[in-house]
Structure formats: C-alpha cells, structure tokens
Structure 1
Amino acid sequence: MPSDTPPAGRPFTPVDFQLVLLRRMADHNPGLVEDARRELGASPADMRDANKRWQAMVRSPRGRGAASRYRSVLGTPASRSARRIGDLDCEAWRWPLPLWPALRFEVLLAPGGAVWNEWLVRAPGAPAPVLRTLDDLTPWSCTVDEAARAFAPARPLEGSAPTRRGLAFTAPDGEGVRREVVAEFTWGLLQRTAVRG
C-alpha cells in the first residue's frame, strides 16, 4: 500500500516525474489520472510531494539547467537524434515512461543546449492512432503532432500554462458534418476537445 506521508529526502525518480506529468493533467481528466496514479503505486500525498519538489527544482536560482535536470531525473536518453527546425540544427532526446509505453518523453534542445520544447510524442515504431472524426479524439488518444497532421491545416493556440497547448481545426462529427474544434493538450497529450458554435 502506498504511504500517505512521502519519505523526506528521497531522490527524485522517474516515477516522481510521471506524477508531475499527471498532476498537470488532473484538471481535465481526474479519473484517468487517479487510475494512472494507482498504477504507479503512489498516493495523493506522493503526487503533491513530487509536484512540490519538481517546482522547487525548476525555480531554484541554484538549480541545474532544464536539460541537466531531465538527465538527472530520467537518466541517459534512450535515444538522441538530430532535428532541423527552420534553419537551426537541434537535438531531440527521448525517454520511455512506463505509464505510456507507446509514447516517449521528448526534450528538444536548441543549439547551445537550451530546452525549446518538452512533451510526449509517439514512440518510433508504435502504431499511430486512427484519427478521422471527433469521436476519435478521446482523452490521451493522441499527441499534438498527430492531431495536427490528421486534421490539417491546424492552427496552434497558446496554452493556459507552460505545459499546455491548443490546436484549432475542423473535423467531421459522427454525422459527417465538419465542426470547428479546439483541442487542449497537456505535456503534448490530448486532454479534451470543445466544438465551437
């Protein structure tokens, strides 16, 4: 049974990091988050503690840079690849996370090592979801890139927090009527959609 009182001074682990991702998702999908938290064997107190410690690391004036922080928590990236964005050569680091075996946590580093982006993406070789209608856009079913490709052209929207993003696009409903949709993502994973008008 998970303890209601997290032990003090323990290292920040990949399980803690997954709890941080879940904490941001709880606003939109508390039921999914509750199930995932239990799968990790963590209590609500563990989740609060992980989030508190993560925020302290992020905000610490003596803290390490974002890239170093991810390596210290998640270890050596499982994969590293070059990525060209516009006229810049970047590097993508990816790690597996047990909660989402078909996804990878990706950190995109700009030249010089600054972190430009951090989110969940589909794992290489993992089958992408079939996204044809609004009914296919269920919570946690797809990533930002997958939705943007399936319902192109999609327009990026600013999120309500640093780890949140939005997309605006049109998609057919179950009757085949095209609807204007806003999709909200947390850490790159779909959380909810809303039909406009």
Structure 2
Amino acid sequence: MFHEIVVPFGDTSEVTATEDHAAHLLRRAARRKYQIAATADGGAVINWTARKYGGRRTEPRSITLVPRLPIDVLTDATLQDLSLISDGQARYEVEANGPVIVGPAWRIPPTTTARLRAGGLVAENYGLVRVSLTVHLALLARQHRTHTTEPGGWVRCACGFTAHAGDRSDARELARSHREVAVTDFIAGRSSAFTATATTTR
C-alpha cells in the first residue's frame, strides 16, 4: 500500500493506493515517457508537464508514491530469501507454528515468513507469493545510486555504470537518465531488481 500524493496545477491531494494501482500508474507513466524515479524507501516519483485547461500554457505535475511500510535495511539473509521468492514459484503452506513460504526445493521458516509479511516485503497473488513492489523500487534506487565528479563531469553509479558528460550540469542529467532507464526497464519486464549484489543495496 502507498500514500499517493498528486500535485495538479498548484493543488495537492492525497489518497491511498493499492500496490496494483501503483503498478498501473508506473506502467502508464513509462508508456507516456514521463520521468520516473525510484526512492530508497520503496516509493517512486513521477513527473511530467501538462497543458493547463487546454491552453498553450504548460505546468509541471507529479505523483509521489510513498510506501506505508518504508523499506529500511535489507540484510544479506533477507535478500537471499527474497531472491528465492522472486523466481515466481513461491507459495504459502500452513504448519503447526504458522504459515511458511515454500518453493520447489526450499522453505523459509515461520518466524522469517512472519517478519517478511509484517514488513510488507512480500505479497500474494492468486495463491503465489511474490516480492512486493516496494522492495523492487527500493532495490532499484539503491543499486543505481549515482554521483557526479569534477573536473570533467563524470557520472559513477553503484551498479558499475560510468560515463563522461560535458560538464556538471550534463552529468546530473545523464545520471538522472541512467536511473530512469533502470526503472523503466524493470517496469517493462526487461530487467530484474535482483541482478546486483547484496552489497550495493545497503
């Protein structure tokens, strides 16, 4: 679940968005080529410009998705569990000590299963357990932390991406574009949030 904060033409409104609705907003934003940024707590910010009341004048608009259960530290052990779940074959089984998440050849104990559920790290669809959207967004943001350096306007990313821009302003734009490509590739299903090593997600 998310808090959806919409800023249309100088006004602000806030509603509650389900994960399915948040995913729909991200897919629509990607199709329309809006700017999309993932946040390290598992949220996202969508920015675009729109014509005001059908006129020639355009103004910025935005949608901010703030997770109701922000993602904090993801330990190596948690990342390993989530990586297992991300294969798309996980499901719940009920044991004497409570529900457990199981896969074809693995099992996550009841206490760990309870912790993953309480933290909003997993969700269930049609009987299958999956990694929550908030986790994917947090991993993308953490894996693609960028910084720019002077002189020369270099861009360096935690994922290993390095590129040279003309100056610091160009470098900032290149860094933003790189992060946005990572998010849109994930939304389009062209990449996984679990491709980077655990050390880049802390």
Q: Same fold (TM over 0.5)?
A: no
**Normalized against structure 1, the TM-score is what?**
0.24
Q: Higher relative CO (CA 8 A, sep ≥ 6), structure 1 or 2? A: 2
**Normalized against structure 2, the TM-score is what?**
0.24
Q: Which is helix-richer, 1 or 2?
A: 2
Q: Which protein shows a greater Rg?
A: 2
